[in-house]
Structure 1
Amino acid sequence: MEFLMSVQELNHLLSNKREIVVVDVRFDLNNHTFGQDAYKKGHIPGAIYLDLNKDLSGSAEKHGGSHPLPDAKLFAKKLGEYGIDTKTNVVIYDQANEMFAPRLWFMLHHLGHEQVYVLEGGMQAWLDAGFEVTKEIPAYGKKQFVPQPKQHAIVHMKEVKDKVQANEAVLIDSRARERYLGKVEPMYKKAGHIPGAKNYFWKDVMADDNKWKRVEALHEHFASLPKDKEIIVSCGSGVSACPNIMGLKMAGFTNVKLYPGSFSDWISYEENKVETKEQ
């Protein structure tokens, strides 16, 4: 499966006026205005900006977790306003190879859109290649994005609990090892991980040169996971899980699902236990 696009390929498509929508999703969890500010200072020509908190997440009061998925119909309407339907080629980038572009990649796939690519290396690779940036805000003709949600692509807390306890699925925690083990927890009131979860830090889908690992390396990275079993991927709030979902699919895993609420949702239920031991 080809989910990545190089900056050279994107530049070629833009130079030849190919129909494509570029989406800038740069964000910083510690500085929520970083992405919007960076976009205003300069972005890839033709790029629109979508914000993790305002556009790629729903209301935490109505849904579980700190970055719940937005309402599918409302998000589809927003996509249509930016000239995106299910036939539009979409290329997404963040600052480098980070978690935010894969988040939107997953959301679009979940809504039935297949022609979606993450820009390898993000904005940094674009700048390193010496390609043009602009401050111009693009205007796209409106389209109608008709969502066809793949309901099997996501699972919720009760399903996670039941399937892991029954050994019907493998649960992955995508956070850093120190957070998985409960040694540090900068964001939530409880530390540790969901019982039964195995730790696969999301940054480990990247190679030493900070590029995505090639397919063979991803096969090796996920070699201990059974391909004939459901894989549920979690993290803190359903964002950093998405690079792992991309990596698993690139490695040939087909039954891969996201727990959108992840650890932040899990600990919102007082009866749910957490663990700090390695699985």
Structure 2
Amino acid sequence: MFNTLISASQLQQAGNQHTVLLDCRFRLNDPDYGLAAYEAGHLPGAHYLHLDYHLSGTKNGSNGRHPLPDGQRLAVKLGALGITPDTQVVAYDDAGGMYAARAWWLLRWLGHEAVAVLDGGIQAWQQLGGELDNSTPERAATRFVMGVAQESVVTLDDIAANLCSPQFLIVDARAADRFAGENETLDPVGGHIPGAKNRFFMHNLDADGLFKSSAQLHDEWQALLDGQPVSEVVLSCGSGVTACHNKLALEHAGLPGARLYAGSWSEWCSDPTRPVATGS
């Protein structure tokens, strides 16, 4: 069972028996990109999941850009793809795991343990000679069984209360300039939640676009946390997507226990009365 990362060679060796592939390609500035890319060519047998339609819930103007989907509704969708408790699920994208990690986190949130992200994404698959397919795979619909949640969340109220009585450390996955309140193009307000630290999710990858070794990630994260227990860490970002990448890195590093603030900055800054910090 793979429950964090799977390499392209491991996926090729595993074959498709009891495996469901999820293509999660997406671009924030071009929401139609992922489906078009999928239709042009995807890993054989892969199904497409759209960040806005499948991996997020309904926005109401104050719950962030990518609120969590309804768990029961997502479970029905996953069941339609043939995912059972003994199915190995592999999610991939072409952005270093930026979007695939969201699917990985959601399946764990619903209690599915055998889910991994393809390290290096579709590029790693092709570099090993893996072929692409543009056909629509058949579906073997079943009932997705929700198990014991492997992931947990904190709420907006929890974040607000933490400002007055700190119980956990917030780690923000956005790029340093957006964290500092500069060059903000996605949200109406720039900055970060007061007291948060910054760990750009792309720092989890090496120069080849693969996740760094578990030992290197362990050392880097421990240095950032500076003695803070991982169980007292809450992961945030712009809208609860790249925070999942940091969660995946922590799990790969053998540092489990961090929670997700799903609403993240886009939810926090929707109310102008909430405090905002800027700078590094």
Q: Determine if contact 1:185/1:191 at 8 Å carries over to the other structure.
A: yes
123 and 211 in structure 1: CA distance in 2 versus 1, 3 angstrom threshold: same
Task: Give the SS at the match of 2:13.
Answer: helix
**Residue in 2 that maps onto 1:7:** 8
69 and 185 in structure 1: CA distance in 2 versus 1, 3 angstrom threshold: same
240 and 233 in structure 1: CA distance in 2 versus 1, 3 angstrom threshold: same
Distance in 2, matches of 1:149 and 1:184, equals 40
- Residue 95 of structure 1 aligns to which amino acid in structure 2? D
Distance in 2, matches of 1:191 and 1:167, equals 23
Identity over aligned residues, as a percent?
Answer: 39
Q: Determine if contact 1:57/1:68 at 8 Å carries over to the other structure.
A: yes
**Residue in 1 that maps onto 2:264:** 262
**Residue in 2 that maps onto 1:170:** 169
- Give the drift of 1:6: 1.1
**Residue in 1 that maps onto 2:115:** 116
Distance in 1, matches of 2:207 and 2:122, equals 19
228 and 75 in structure 1: CA distance in 2 versus 1, 3 angstrom threshold: closer
- Residue 64 of structure 1 aligns to which amino acid in structure 2? N
CA offset digits 1:157-204 (Å, max 9, x no partner) = 111222343221010111000000011100111110011110000101
Distance in 2, matches of 1:129 and 1:96, equals 18
**Residue in 2 that maps onto 1:194:** 193
- Of residues 44-53 and 165-174 in structure 1, the stretch that sits farther from structure 2 once superposed is 165-174
Count of aligned pairs: 276
- Give the drift of 1:140: 2.2
Q: How does 1:117-132 map to 2 (within 5 A)?
A: 117-132=116-131
Task: Give the SS at the match of 2:234.
Answer: strand
- Residue 178 of structure 1 aligns to which amino acid in structure 2? D
**Residue in 1 that maps onto 2:279:** 277
- Residue 273 of structure 1 aligns to which amino acid in structure 2? P
CA offset digits 1:224-245 (Å, max 9, x no partner) = 3122641100000000111101
- The answer for unaligned runs of 5 or more in structure 1 is none
Q: Determine if contact 1:170/1:229 at 8 Å carries over to the other structure.
A: no
151 and 59 in structure 1: CA distance in 2 versus 1, 3 angstrom threshold: farther
**Residue in 2 that maps onto 1:42:** 41
Distance in 1, matches of 2:151 and 2:107, equals 14
- Residue 122 of structure 1 aligns to which amino acid in structure 2? G
Distance in 2, matches of 1:148 and 1:272, equals 36
Distance in 2, matches of 1:151 and 1:97, equals 23
Q: How does 1:140-219 map to 2 (within 5 A)?
A: 140-148=139-147, 150=149, 153-219=152-218
TM-score using structure 2 length = 0.94
TM-score using structure 1 length = 0.94
- Give the drift of 1:55: 0.6
Q: Determine if contact 1:168/1:229 at 8 Å carries over to the other structure.
A: no
**Residue in 1 that maps onto 2:71:** 72
**Residue in 1 that maps onto 2:249:** 247
Q: Determine if contact 2:18/2:88 at 8 Å carries over to the other structure.
A: yes
- Give the drift of 1:150: 2.9
Task: Give the SS at the match of 1:102.
Answer: helix
Distance in 2, matches of 1:151 and 1:13, equals 24
- Residue 261 of structure 1 aligns to which amino acid in structure 2? G
Q: Determine if contact 2:3/2:114 at 8 Å carries over to the other structure.
A: no
- Give the drift of 1:211: 1.0
Distance in 1, matches of 2:117 and 2:149, equals 20
Task: Give the SS at the match of 2:101.
Answer: helix
- Give the drift of 1:151: 8.7
Distance in 1, matches of 2:66 and 2:251, equals 23
74 and 252 in structure 1: CA distance in 2 versus 1, 3 angstrom threshold: same
**Residue in 2 that maps onto 1:51:** 50
Distance in 2, matches of 1:274 and 1:19, equals 47
Q: Determine if contact 1:164/1:171 at 8 Å carries over to the other structure.
A: no
Task: Give the SS at the match of 2:186.
Answer: coil
